[in-house]
Amino acid sequence: PDAALALSLAKRARELALGLPGLLYLHFSERNWQRRRAPQPLAD
């Protein structure tokens, strides 16, 4: 059981290491897109 748990955690860590940069890129690109799309306040 311990070896299976260690293998499962190793696979999960690999998935996280490979997927996290893509998720961060998506998050920041969406944030920038929403900022550009937001209506600008009127200057008086």
* 7 in a structural domain: yes
* 11 in a structural domain: yes
Q: Which residue range(s) make up the domain with 14? A: 1-35
First to last CA, the chain: 69
- Position 39 scores a pLDDT of 76
* 14 in a structural domain: yes
Which parts of 1-44 fold into alpha helices (H)? 2-37
Each residue's pLDDT expressed in tens, for the chain with a length of 44 residues: 899 999 999 999 999 999 999 999 999 999 998 888 877 776 76
pTM: 0.56
Domain tally for the chain?
A: 1
